Amino acid sequence: MGAFVQDSILSILSAVRSAARPVLLLVAAALVAAGAVVPAQVRAQPDRAAHTVTIVVEKTTRIDLSDDLRTTVKQGTTQTLTTTYSVYTNRAEAQVVTASATGSGVLTGLEVTAEMAAPDDESVSTGPKTLLTGGDVQTKTLLENLKGASASNVDLTYQVSASPQAPPGRSSISITYTVSTD
């Protein structure tokens, strides 16, 4: 029995000493029965709790290109197209960006070069690289030492040349950029 119930019983017993013995037993029995119903001292519930949250940040590299481009080039001339790209990477190891061109209905006499500006002071642009020459597709490294970068609206320049022998027509060329470790 809790200390509170015991103290209460003693106080009531002292108050009713002068009463008859059967009344005293009846009061004592009632208090003992009430003590069975009165909950024991309740422990306070904690006012805070904690979780351990384990977070894993995955290695990521993303390159985004601006909209598709369209140009008209005359035989024997070169057309320069400027656009932008964005790159986001949290990798500490050096990466390279390569580009390759594929196409449907590639006309002979076309040449396409690409040049990516470096997104930060650590990255190195390798300058303009020819990705397509007369229908031959090549894969070239455009950017080296890319690591821990976050940049947007970085210059990306294409030069499209048509030789004087290039026949009239339409070509659709897709240039794919790939980011990988050295």
77-97 pLDDT tens trace: 999 999 999 999 999 999 999
Burial 27-58 (b: 16+ CB within 10 A, else e): beeebeeebeeeeeeeeeeeeeeeeeeeeeee
Give the chain's radius of gyration (CA, Å): 42
Task: Read off the amino acid at residue 117.
Answer: A
Position 40 scores a pLDDT of 57
Reported pTM: 0.69
Distance from C-alpha of 81 to C-alpha of 87, rounded to nearest angstrom:
20
Q: How far is it, in rounded angstroms, from Cα 95 to Cα 93?
A: 6
Whether the CB-CB separation of 161 and 72 falls below 8 Å is answered with: no
- Better pLDDT: 127 or 24: 127
pLDDT at 12 over 80: no
- The predicted structure's pLDDT at residue 5: 46
